[in-house]
Amino acid sequence: MGAIVKHKAFEPGAIAVIVVFALFVAPSIFGAFWITNLTQMAVFSVVAASAGMLYGRVGLVSLGQVAPYGIGCWVTMRLAYATSLPFPVLLLIGGIVAAVIGMLIGLPALRVSGLYLALVTLMLAAALETVLGVLKFPNGGSGFSGVVTSLSDLAPMRRPGFAETDPAYFRFTVIVALLLFLLAYVFLAGKPGRAWASIRQSEPSAIAAGIAITQYKLIAFALAAFMAGVAGGLFAGSVQQSIGIDQFSRQAALFLIAVVLMGGVHTLWGALLAGFFSKVMLDLLTSYMVGGQFWNNFSLSLFGFGLMMNLIQSTKAMEKKGLLG
């Protein structure tokens, strides 16, 4: 089994199987409920990949990765209400706006690291929650600034013309998510990836080696924010109406880091697992396991427990490898 997993053809093969299953098999065997869940799993995987990339590859812990996610969602929604631009263009604009704001957030964050960076980014996530609340997110009215007073008047977020049904939108989401994973892979496999690895290992060594750490950290923040921003736009299209600040709250920020760490931050597979944990696993437990509603009620406890176990196990593994002290 180990030999199969280590074989160089295993990873591309596994990706091909997952993509074929997602595009051709899943839409025909699952009902609307599970298709919506799988769509959100694909969306959340991208957000998890962006947060995991910052932590696992660059060594920057951002607890505020829900901020670009929320910004991308909001920008995409507003543009969808105000313009007739094609949906993929909206996603791109949402991602670019999130990337610009991500870089602005990254500027003060570049001066700090470790615990300070985590706290500052967590506070920025809290600030976004305040801003979205004041601006009456998600508004829902016509134009750029229209606001509806009742959720029942909220116009449904439009989807691309070729993906208006749930299964078609799921396929669209999987393809966009795949492209974003590919984008991350290109960066990780290229010069930025090597620079990030060096920065994560030791900043002084990276500086000594002539790596422009400020530039590469900013690229990391921008790329992560772009991915999260596009994911936000995809999320807006998947839920259409039932959207609120909760999805981008302080609690969501901590929940995100919990599932990202549970999934694993050192490979992009971990992001897929994080998406599964956050969007599918709970419904599987609630629907098919003994206890039913218990799992849903105690979902936060479950993820808190999972995060703690992850931290303890990773500590043991680091001790075993002699990486601590």
Partner 1 sequence: MGILLYPGLVLNCALITLAYGWFLAPKLDRRDPLAKSLGMVAVALFLMGIMKDRWDTSKPRNLHFPSRTFTVADTVVSTTQILALAFALVVVVGVNLFLQRTSIGTAMRAIANNRETSALLGVPVRRIEAMAWFGAGILCGCVFLLLPSFVKSLDQGTLTWFVIPALGGAIVGRFRSLWITFFASIVIGVIESFLTPFSGALQFLSDFRRVTPVVISVLAILWISRRRTVVLAGREMS
Q: Any contact of residue 311 with partner 1 (CB under 8 A)?
A: yes
Buried/exposed 77-101: b ≥16 CB within 10 Å, e otherwise: bbbbbeeeeebeebbbbbbbbbbbb
Of 67, 94, 66, 97, nearest to 81 by C-alpha is: 94
| CB within 8 Å of 235: residues ≥ 6 apart | 40, 43, 69, 73, 243, 247
Q: Binding string, 100-139, against partner 1, x = CB under 8 A? A: --------x--xxxxxx-xxx-xxx-xx--xx--x-----
Distance in angstroms between the alpha carbons of the first and the last residue of the chain: 34
Minimum separation from the CB atom of position 147 to partner 1 (A): 14
Cα separation, 204 vs 201, in Å, equals 9
Minimum separation from the CB atom of position 33 to partner 1 (A): 23
Minimum separation from the CB atom of position 32 to partner 1 (A): 27
Minimum separation from the CB atom of position 113 to partner 1 (A): 5
Cα separation, 76 vs 70, in Å, equals 10
Q: Which stretch binds partner 1 (CB under 8 A): 94-102, 142-150, 221-229, 255-263?
A: 255-263
Q: Any contact of residue 204 with partner 1 (CB under 8 A)?
A: yes
Site for partner 1 in 136-195 (CB under 8 A): none
Site for partner 1 in 7-36 (CB under 8 A): none
Minimum separation from the CB atom of position 131 to partner 1 (A): 7
Q: Is the alpha carbon torsion for 205, 209, 213, 217 positive or negative? A: negative
* Contact footprint for partner 1 (CB under 8 A): 61, 108, 111-116, 118-120, 122-124, 126-127, 130-131, 134, 202-204, 207, 250-251, 254-255, 257-258, 261, 297-305, 307-308, 311-312, 315, 318-319, 324-325
